[in-house]
Structure 1
Amino acid sequence: MVDRNYVSDYTKFMDQFLQENPEVAKGQVEGRALLWDKEPIDLDERARNEQSALQK
């Protein structure tokens, strides 16, 4: 049987750390926005841009 109330030492540590250092969570959100939360790519526009780019 699994104890559903179990919380690992790591989870306890991270919960306490993030509570004491809220700027870390803010930095995580900002980093995600910078790297992952982007507008969808318009594939037709991308193809047109690639075709119109100067060839080296």
Structure 2
Amino acid sequence: MKFSKQFSLYESEATNFIQSLKGANPKLEQSQRDGRALLWDKAPIDLDQQKRNLESRVAQQPYVYQTKG
């Protein structure tokens, strides 16, 4: 679907704001990538290590504050 020239030149306020923000702070995109890597990008899961961790868990009693005596 093709729009006329009138619509192809339009830029929203949000687009203008983001472009001006990136122009004022050129390191913004890299800092966003670093933050994403810190919080979301994780190392691959080692299945053998995960299996050993699950097998070595100690079962917890149903009510942890009750003494056995």
TM norm. shorter chain > 0.5 = yes
TM-score by length of structure 2 reads 0.57
Which residue number corresponds to residue 41 of structure 1? 45
Which consecutive residues of structure 2, in runs of 5 or more, have no partner in the other structure? 61-69
Match status 1:23 vs 2:30: no
Q: In the aligned structure 2, how far is the partner of 1:35 from the partner of 1:18?
A: 22
Identical aligned residues as a percent = 41
CA RMSD of aligned residues (A): 2.2
- Equivalents in 1 of 2:21, 2:59: separation in Å? 52
Paired position in structure 2 for 1:32: 36
State how far apart, in whole Å, the 2-side matches of 1:53 and 1:5 are.
62
Between the two structures, name the one with larger relative contact order (CA 8 Å, sep ≥ 6).
1
With normalisation by structure 1, the TM-score equals 0.66
Q: Which moved more, 1:6-15 or 1:22-31?
A: 22-31
Greater helix share, 1 or 2? 1
Unaligned runs of 5+ in 1: none
Secondary structure of 1:11's match? helix
